[in-house]
Structure 1
Amino acid sequence: MNRVIRAVAVIGAGLMAVSANAAIITNGSFELGTDPGVFSTENVGSTAITGWTVGGFGVDYIGSYWQASDGVRSIDLSALSSGSLSQTIATVAGTTYTVTFDVSGNPDGGLGNKVLVSSISGSLPNVISYEITPGNSRSNMNWLTYSYDFTAFSNTSVLTFASAEFSPFGPAIDNVSIVTSGGGGGATVPEPSVWAMLLIGFGAVGFAARARKGHQVNA
């Protein structure tokens, strides 16, 4: 029985660790949603990109138009002008999280910097500048990875990406994720699948205890 308890404890600790670092973003690579084909323009209020809400002057939902960073879809944060994309995520107050995402820019607008702002409700905005160089093209977007930390102030937080380009050639994003940071306090509630695994483990402990008790009675 002791061996069973120790095994369940180890499994439970491992599952909790995995759960604490599980991604809490829905559709971070934008693969779910209305098929954009080559690309589609999504206007303010659109929820065609699963999990996300469009703001500002709209965004372009990119399909086969250029090379994605992850999967086959990505976002140009400017439609005809600066747009935005937001998602409300579950957080734990006092816990520190790391936001990671890939950035590029629409190469059709020529060389130069593409600027976007990423923000979390209650935290200072993060300004990211991406430089379009002669090496950028639709077939080679030269994606770069950026990340920053934030500490949640409530049980929900709004993550927003906004273009600072007042043109149709905006900054591009893909492969968004959020995980708990090593510097954070507080606990993350396990996913339902984790609870199921833990319950199975506890059931095994209970079965072993009953079997041992029956053995002692019959001895």
Structure 2
Amino acid sequence: MLEPRTNNQLMHSAGWLSRYQVARVKENLASSICTRSLSVVERFFESSHDDDELARIAEFHLELVGRLVVRLTDSEVVYSFGERIVALHHGKVIGRHSEIWKTLAVCLARCFENLNLIDRGRLARSIATIPSLTHDASIRSFYQNSWVMFHKIEKRPDDLAVDFVSAEIRKDIDELIFILKDSEENNTGPRSNLAGIWQRLFWMREWGFINELQAQEIYALLVSKES
């Protein structure tokens, strides 16, 4: 019944699962399919072999999860799926499969938008731990902004700011600020990479990950850009 979209089909030609079909899928079936599909994706990222066909299958299963997760009403279940997707970003081989990042990011965003208030905050804290790609020169800049789509997981007016920020996240923010400073002073770094840094920092500021001193440094950089 379901099969991956072939490479010669247009992006909107995913007729194998339309919105109408999604609406008719029972919640327990949707949850079961999401569970199995994520297991397939996890096994793919655990593999040390590069295989274009397996990568396409993994991408299909991520698309499937992204479409069906909106049918779930149990926020705890959706949150568990979101955590599994975040965990994929910490894998050792994910850097070799940048063509899947956008689908992975959309899947994470779909989980995020289907969470309740408490679980959105919990998942935001996990998303903040996703490594920044800025330091990895092997990553093609074309895919940099597909790593995490921060504009699709924005803080809502009723969301609560995080109440704890780990030392690791603080350190990552400091490193990102340093990269921006270095770029400003020495005119280094591709602009596409810098745009991703700004997007990440603005997102982290909205959620309360950035302290006052870091906020002042970011503001100084913004002022220097305008002058």
Judge same fold: TM > 0.5, yes or no: no
Higher helix share: 2
TM-score by length of 1: 0.23
Question: Which gives a bigger RCO, structure 1 or 2 (Cα 8 Å, sep 6+)?
Answer: 1
Bigger Rg over Cα = 1
